Amino acid sequence: MEKVNIEEKLSLFNDYWNPRIVGELNGQHVKLAKLKGEFIWHKHDHEDELFYVLKGMLKMEFRDKIVEIKENEFLIVPKGIEHKPVAEEEVSLLLFEPASTVNTGNTINELTREDLERI
Amino acid sequence: MEKVNIEEKLSLFNDYWNPRIVGELNGQHVKLAKLKGEFIWHKHDHEDELFYVLKGMLKMEFRDKIVEIKENEFLIVPKGIEHKPVAEEEVSLLLFEPASTVNTGNTINELTREDLERI
């Protein structure tokens, strides 16, 4: 039972769109990720996802609107809703989601990351 | 689907040891709480709990050690583990735990809060 320091964990990696697992509880994962650029449109059929912005500003595009998530704000994207994260500048992000969640949801391509590293 | 601003939500209440619900996903609640003073010894038989310190420093006492959780650090307390939160100065806290979690766990007393307010 060790505490987790967010800054320390963020200093351990620099690649984008490759979440790391930093905690696990009740079948859910706590992940950290760095984002820059545009991700792909996708949805998760079975998982709601929480995006908590630690640094920067994340634009979450939906088919009918865009939500700008700034530092110390979070957004919950319900299962089944198509979304596309866009980071015009680097964003540091905390994610809460079920351990079963795959980053690209129903779209498997070169951005898909499985067997995420635990740091 | 609205984003949540942590500072704004924290400004809506000032009482201690009375968590508010600010998000729900996958059967889990995201809560905010302000703490000051000593809580009681308790455990949760079925729920792991995540304590993320937003402001201040939270001492989490266990039967065999104390963990000091500082700003932008979190600690996961596994189910079944007795713990006692102590905030010598005011602490602002984010909690992530199953919707079934009662703040005082297996100990029901005047500090127990049920039917938490959603803000």
pLDDT per residue as tens digits for the range B43-98: 999 999 999 999 999 999 999 999 999 999 999 999 999 999 999 999 999 999 99
What's the rounded Cα separation, in Å, for the pair A56 and B106? 40
pLDDT surpassing 90 at residue B114: no
pLDDT surpassing 90 at residue A1: no
What's the rounded Cα separation, in Å, for the pair A115 and A12? 18
> What band does B113 get if pLDDT is binned at 50, 70 and 90?
very high
Report domain B6-98's class: mainly beta
Predicted TM-score (pTM) of this structure: 0.95
Q: Is B81 on the interface with A (CB under 8 A)?
A: yes
Q: Kindly state the tokens that stand for A13.
A: 């990696």
pLDDT per residue as tens digits for the range B22-49: 999 999 999 999 999 999 999 999 999 9
What's the rounded Cα separation, in Å, for the pair A65 and A84? 11
pLDDT at A94: 98
pLDDT at B1: 85
B111 or B5: which carries more pLDDT confidence?
Answer: B5
pLDDT per residue as tens digits for the range A7-55: 999 999 999 999 999 999 999 999 999 999 999 999 999 999 999 999 9
What's the rounded Cα separation, in Å, for the pair A64 and B10? 30
pLDDT at B108: 86
Q: State the number of CA atoms in the 13 A half-sphere of B14 facing the CB.
A: 0
* Chain B residues touching A81 at Cβ < 8 A: 1
Whether residue A96 and residue B97 make contact (CB cut-off 8 A), yes or no, is no
Q: Is A64 on the interface with B (CB under 8 A)?
A: no
Q: Is B23 on the interface with A (CB under 8 A)?
A: yes
A1 or A71: which carries more pLDDT confidence?
Answer: A71
Candidate from B30, B47, B73 with C-beta closest to A3: B73
B47: left (phi over 0), alpha (psi -120 to 50) or beta: beta
pLDDT per residue as tens digits for the range A77-117: 999 999 999 999 999 999 999 998 989 998 888 889 988 99
pLDDT at A6: 98
- For residue A10, the 8-state DSSP code is H
pLDDT at B3: 98
* Chain A residues touching B72 at Cβ < 8 A: 5-7, 54
